[in-house]
Structure 1
Amino acid sequence: MRFLWLVFINACAVGISIACVNFYFQHSWLHFLVTFAISFAISFFAFYYLFQRYIYNKIKLIYKLIHNLKLGKDLKNALGEKMSDDPINDVEQQVRDWAKEKKREIDALKDQEKFRREFLANISHEFKTPLFAVQGYIDALQDGMMQEDPEMAMQFLTKASQNLDRLAFLIKDLDEISKLESGQIPINYQKFDLVILIKEVLDSMEDKAKAHDISLVFKEKYHSSMLVKADREKIRQVLVNLTSNSIKYGKTQGNTYIRVYELFETVLVEVTDDGIGIDEKNLPRIFERFYRTDKSRSRRIGGSGLGLSIVKHIIEAHQQTINVRSTEGMGTTFAFTLEKIKS
């Protein structure tokens, strides 16, 4: 419709212009009307043909190509589809939408590139620290320490062994994350009592909690049976990682609380500490590999820096959700859901 109006307006302009010129010389309204009618008709068909062939069809083709590209279709199918009656207006909107979509893609690629650079820098540092330590201890032993000071040599060997263990632990965690992301580690669903599993995890973490003077609290009201459908060993790993984190970053004489809530179709599990907390600006990145909110303190405490990333991958592999809320100086709560089995 807009196309026809454009042709009509241009034909009227040409017809009136020629008719006015004729009227100037002939001074006859009859000649004016006849000239206008003939000029308008010729101009209308001429403009219609030219616009249709060289402008309208070109714009329509562009519209179809953009439309198919947005849908991810093959370009050779672009001409076979029925398009809008107003492609000039539609192509403008399509181009705007396409530009916005491409900008989002570019921003996402920039974020991914930034993450890649940070990841490579972090993994390089994580590997270099134990490797350089082992290299230093071995160099000292090769320089004759075994004969000069056997006791110190044994201490160096012990520290070298600890650094090698850290390196092996780091490689193991990286391998596990890689397999989780690629789906190589299957989720073995089974029915089990979540309460029993939580008790087992807390029993296994009791000594570590006492060493940090932290109490593990799982209240009696949660001790009734609660059946869920999940991979029992992977959920054990999730609980161990979250509880271990709460102990590492908890305060002396503090508490770690495990809470369980029954929802309609899921069970919500919360692991809460009253420790140092996490700055709000760091919360969106807390599940990234090697991301540490306090790098100096985190490395002094230990760990691979991959625990929370593994936790997130395990929960998402179960098609469930995990989130974190925290107040700096007051504590942190990690919460995740599991599929509940209705009794």
Structure 2
Amino acid sequence: QFTADASHEIRTPLAAIRGTLEVLLRKKREPEQYEEKIKEVINQTDRLNHLLDQLLQLARLESGSVKKEQLNLYKILKEAEFKFDKQIQQKGMLVSISIAESVSILADNFFFSVIIDNLVSNAVKYGVVNGKISFNWVNDTHTLSITNDSTGITQQQLPLLFNRFYRTDNSRNSMIPGSGLGLAIVKKLADLQHITIAVSSTSGSTTFSLKIPT
């Protein structure tokens, strides 16, 4: 099933690229019309490149070994905020990190950073314009929560979010690009580090929680 799903996801942007190029060949157009179609091709090639990167990432995880060390949680979150600053600013979003700068966790540096990057990317992509992304830490349970203002995810869809290639109805119907692999990678990386991941959602927000072993 994975191979079939992967083939479908790869063929979709390839078909869009071919269709756009065929349209360009049918008749001569004004320069600005060519520019518009070329941008469509670039967007589809970017989508395909992102998908292939994630497929390779999944393949590497199958044989990946975990190297845990003490990490500064605040630093990792600030690095993720900086990485997605352009997209955050474009949507007029506010980021709140309610975590002491001294908080330390035991995790694999690369794997945990990939988890955070994927969750922040989702929070930005599917968060509402002028919304908020909040990071909170509960020391007693060693739990990090990432909450973003959103239209919400139905209770029926929540258990499916970590399936490979799964996308919610809202994300499929929107213009937001995505492969449906990001959260599958997050779940795999969390499991490798014995991190318990959970998700909850209401009509106004979505929260991902990471319970990190001590």
Q: TM-score, normalised by structure 2?
A: 0.88
Which residues of 2 match residues 136-285 of structure 1 at below 5 A? 136-143=19-26, 145=28, 148-180=29-61, 182=62, 184-219=63-98, 222-263=99-140, 267-285=142-160
Deviations 1:26-45 (A, max 9, x none): xxxxxxxxxxxxxxxxxxxx
Q: 1:179, 1:295 → 2: CA distance?
A: 30
Counterpart of 1:236, as a letter, is S
Deviations 1:9-34 (A, max 9, x none): xxxxxxxxxxxxxxxxxxxxxxxxxx
Misfit runs of 4+, over 3 Å: 119-125, 140-145, 148-151, 295-299
Q: 2:109, 2:50 → 1: CA distance?
A: 22
Deviations 1:22-73 (A, max 9, x none): xxxxxxxxxxxxxxxxxxxxxxxxxxxxxxxxxxxxxxxxxxxxxxxxxxxx
Counterpart of 2:212, as a letter, is L
Q: 1:335, 1:240 → 2: CA distance?
A: 14
Which residues of 2 match residues 1-343 of structure 1 at below 5 A? 116=1, 122-143=5-26, 145=28, 148-180=29-61, 182=62, 184-219=63-98, 222-263=99-140, 267-294=142-169, 297=172, 300-327=175-202, 329-340=203-214
- In structure 2, list runs of 5 or more residues that go unmatched: none
Structure number with higher helix proportion: 1
Indicate conservation of the 8 Å contact 1:320/1:338, yes or no.
Answer: yes
- In structure 1, list runs of 5 or more residues that go unmatched: 1-115
Counterpart of 1:205, as a letter, is F
Q: 2:21, 2:130 → 1: CA distance?
A: 40
Secondary structure of the structure 1 residue equivalent to 2:151: coil
The answer to which structure, 1 or 2, has the higher relative contact order (CA under 8 A, 6+ apart) is 2
Deviation, 1:233, is: 2.3
Counterpart of 1:231, as a letter, is D
Deviation, 1:262, is: 1.7
Deviation, 1:136, is: 1.6
Q: 2:196, 2:184 → 1: CA distance?
A: 13
Deviations 1:100-143 (A, max 9, x none): xxxxxxxxxxxxxxxx3xx5665454223211111022223444
Counterpart of 2:95, as a letter, is L
C-alpha RMSD over aligned residues: 2.3
Deviations 1:165-214 (A, max 9, x none): 2112112212222332x2x2232323221111111112222321221222
Deviations 1:59-104 (A, max 9, x none): xxxxxxxxxxxxxxxxxxxxxxxxxxxxxxxxxxxxxxxxxxxxxx
Q: TM-score, normalised by structure 1?
A: 0.57
Give the count of matched residue pairs: 214
Indicate conservation of the 8 Å contact 2:200/2:206, yes or no.
Answer: yes
Q: 1:298, 1:291 → 2: CA distance?
A: 13
Secondary structure of the structure 1 residue equivalent to 2:84: helix
Indicate conservation of the 8 Å contact 2:148/2:207, yes or no.
Answer: yes
Counterpart of 1:173, as a letter, is Q
Q: 2:178, 2:171 → 1: CA distance?
A: 12
Indicate conservation of the 8 Å contact 2:73/2:101, yes or no.
Answer: no
Percent of paired sites with the same residue: 31
Secondary structure of the structure 1 residue equivalent to 2:64: coil
